[in-house]
A and B are shown apart, each in its own frame.
Chain A
């Protein structure tokens, strides 16, 4: 059952419109609609705010500014993950970034709210802001860290400078990556419903518990009085790890007006009111022997951060467990700017980090005249090169070899710009991928009813990834039931608490918790039956019980689970299961636990215009045991496409004069469309990582991205001989290196 390509159990609900998203709940009746007014300056203060005209506009119930909001909680830095911390919004006259919320208009219809929002008249005292990342890199500082409370800001092993200085072959290059945003399909939205002293919050979030905690501490409410509902979430990619202005302001407005209030951010506002992957400037230095063995490796990342809300993307941490080398160095520095807050965007760290380091490895292969697959295999470490501990299950070489074989890598022509297909220059590139696997405390409950059906409950979310389906499989497997006898209930704060969807940990955390709950339930059931004189299993050895087809069997004698439950627990019987924090799990101390990938790409570059079009993409991955081969493949392919977009298209451009994102809709902020994506395949190696968890499963929601973009970049180099180190690789960066037109 586990691993099979079970159809999505929520699929029929989604295609028939019965899956209800945050903005669509109607249980509480007609709501009011909120529209957020954003600041039109990048830094300064609100000098005067006039809401009279807006307040008199048709349908308007209330206009809220900072003057109307009660005092808000402040973030508690002792919480390791900021998603659980308070998120004060509109708390005073200061403007810390362009688009920050300065007022909320609440009206009877969404059109009335938006029309009135345009009438809020704000006068600002503008202060000179810093918006230009590249212009002031020398002002970057070293943050205290640790990142996420656990990842060190800087590491060093051996003597990097000496090792690098004595290396016969060296690469020393800088790579830059742009601002990027998650931009999930479903906008950030919240419907807040007052219910006596309580508040019901329908919100699009990745972590229900974080949403509740953040909202409680911002609103200074008892968390028990906040009920979060998020059964369906239309994508998050990091941008819904924490709640934002839409949730906080809907809650304040609902409480002030004693009415349900809902707010959805517009696409343009998502560019201003959520979070951004910071732009980065990365220096990678590689020192190698002539046989390709690395002597020294350094990855130093400088990234933008909002000056008031420090965010460190663990970009350079990417290299820490990737290749062997005796002398190593990684570091992060931050450049304080007055731009949108940094937040996790899918594959934080690896996405920009591997663009740099895997491009550099390709440059080293060229310099050495060595096959890039072979170069990576030659630098395969036997233990984690920084921590010195063994790897749990490391199959990077397996991914590389299998990928090379399937792709036909041996037929690649190594000399750049030497393969042509009519108008097109053809190139092949590859890159390796790695992604840390994390574990966080998660609980789940499984209840078996007298009719033999099981219900799984956890506050875990399904953000489109397939949680409903895999937990159905895990519970069916755990109790020996057919999957249609299992119902999974997710995304409510009443359910057992978990760490939600994020960091690719959700599937493994929640599956392990459900599996353990099933084991506990089995024990209860068997113990009950073996002690029950009315049961055919009375007196049998509980240790020999097996579960299948809705029955428990001991040495040839079996009884239906429903009979045991009906006889002994007419109201059903339940059990809980849990996973612990990785910091409390010795495996995560004693082993280096990661997932791996190898990417192979064929591109065609127009010989005149430098338009880059993908022709083939293949990824081979190792992530322990896949819980559902189809949802796993969907995640990986989605990640690979994301990587291709990062290599070629995605870029949020800041206007250095105002601090505003100029590319603030999906017509100007480009992501791949169908026509961009060619024949694409993701292969998952069979595996089992028993050190990660009892199911042997590791995260793969972000793994597909890791290395995909670098493989595209390396293919572009192979096609054209032009190395672009400033991502994304748009045609104007390649065209100057193309040969002149001849015929």
Chain B
């Protein structure tokens, strides 16, 4: 086996995505470490995360499943199934972001403003960490919409699954990241 064959195994763009994910992990590792440091201070007010976040957890896990199935259909060249599942994933992604906003509202209703002078860092952290994660999901949703439109409008047939696989990797990643963040903020 020649060296060049060996190297072709992982597409450079796929690889780039993996390194980018490591980078995003570091960003959230920074924030959650800051959370731990800050929590040790006085004036930290504990509060429970509203139950809405359980629903958003369910939604995003479901969207990972549909994402997975849509890639499978793409590889099997079942294009209408692929498009339907991709669309469903997009909708679930949007639903997740909406649910997050509802969750933020519930926290504020519970007397814990996220930002502003009467806010407590415990709530501000939730706002920033979940908010930043939400932005990453939103970025994914935009990419999904582009893929979706391309599947409909594009008159050029696409056979390479690299693009959609990279999308899948990213999507499962934001899902996993959410599960980590949710566990972290619920039980830390």
Is chain B a partner of chain A in the same complex?
no
